[in-house]
Each structure stands twice: as structure tokens, then as C-alpha cells.
């Protein structure tokens, strides 16, 4: 059972995560993860065929922080920037040992420099969330993209 208090903390984390990405607040994004953490963004086609390659595979907090370095220090000034809006809908939530396994649907809209908006990706999050000192953080966050062929190259995590 997950009580209302726990659900509220989980939803607060999901909201904080979406808000950080949509604000391009990358420190806010890394702050959603615990000390022991992983972030993976992978095409559903690979998941269904047991193929491990992902679009982003940050299987440690070090790699999560390195992704922020890529975005802010390496790629800066070259890519075509875009504005995202994440829409997240929790569809499952169960205790898994000391963690809480949460499944959500998402759609991410994006708007390009000419002001045109489209769907960037749709898919599901499969998350493992830890509660420590009353606050929820991701131990593992996996974004599985139904959008196997993305309509543009992804700069930011989903």
C-alpha cells in the first residue's frame, strides 16, 4: 500500500522533475536524483527486442552530472534550441522493497525557434523512487520512448 502522504511526495517529485526540464534548470534536474542513481532514455523497440543500447545511458550520478556538462559546456551555441513541456500521468505505483516503483505515461511537446509546436516524444517512465527524510528522489528513472524515431535530435533529457 502507498498512503496518500507518500503519493503526494511522489507527485511532488514528478512535478519538480518536469518543471526543471521545462525551465532548462539542469541543476534542478540532477537534484531530482539520489546519490545512487541512474537515468536511461531508450527506444521501446530496443526494450521489446532485449537490445540494451539507449539514447542516453547515465547509470551513475557522475554520468548524470556529465550530461549537464555536455549540454552547458560542450554543445552550447551549436544546437537548435527548443522549449519543452512535459505532461506526466501516473498510472501505477507499488512498493518494491525499500523503494517505490512508479509507472507513468508522458507526452513531451516542443516548440522550435520559429514558434511551431509538435510532439517531441511519447512514452512511459519506469521509475524507482526512494523516500529519505520525507523527500522523494529517483534511484532509477527510465524513459521508454514509443517515439522510436524522434522527429529531431534530443538535446535535453526527457
| Segment 114-119 long-range contacts (CB within 8 Å, at least 24 positions apart) | 118/151, 119/147, 119/151
Pairing of strands 33-43, 56-58: antiparallel
* 96 near other proteins, judged by CB under 8 A: no
70 touches other proteins by CB under 8 A: yes
Distance CA 61, CA 150 (A): 26
Q: By CB under 8 A, which span of 66-74, 88-96, 122-130, 134-142 interacts with other proteins?
A: 66-74
Nearer to other proteins, 75 or 87 (CB): 75
* 3-class SS of residue 37: strand
Query: 121 near 145, Cβ under 8 Å?
Result: yes
Binding mask 29-48 for other proteins (x = CB under 8 A): --------------x-xx--
Smallest gap from residue 75 Cβ to other proteins (A): 5
Distance of CA 153 to the CA centre of its chain: 16
Check residue 59 for interaction with other proteins (CB under 8 A). yes
Which residues sit at the interface with other proteins, rule CB under 8 A? Answer: 43, 45-46, 49, 51-60, 62-63, 65-66, 69-70, 73-76, 78-80, 148-155
Amino acid at each position: 500500500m502507498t498512503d496518500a502522504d507518500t503519493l503526494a511526495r511522489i507527485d511532488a517529485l514528478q512535478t519538480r522533475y518536469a518543471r526543471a526540464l521545462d525551465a532548462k534548470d539542469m541543476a534542478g534536474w540532477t537534484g531530482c536524483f539520489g546519490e545512487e542513481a541512474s537515468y536511461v532514455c531508450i527506444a521501446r523497440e530496443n526494450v521489446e527486442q532485449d537490445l540494451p543500447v539507449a539514447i542516453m545511458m547515465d547509470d551513475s550520478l557522475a554520468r548524470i552530472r556529465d550530461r549537464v556538462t555536455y549540454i552547458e559546456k560542450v554543445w552550447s551555441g551549436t544546437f537548435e534550441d527548443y522549449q519543452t513541456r512535459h505532461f506526466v500521468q501516473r498510472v501505477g505505483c507499488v512498493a518494491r522493497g525499500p523503494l517505490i516503483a512508479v509507472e507513468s505515461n508522458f507526452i513531451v511537446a516542443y516548440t522550435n525557434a520559429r514558434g511551431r509546436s509538435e510532439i517531441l516524444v511519447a512514452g512511459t517512465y519506469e521509475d524507482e523512487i526512494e523516500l529519505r527524510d520525507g523527500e522523494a528522489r529517483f534511484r532509477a528513472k527510465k524513459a521508454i520512448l514509443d517515439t522510436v524515431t524522434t522527429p529531431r535530435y534530443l538535446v535535453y533529457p526527457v
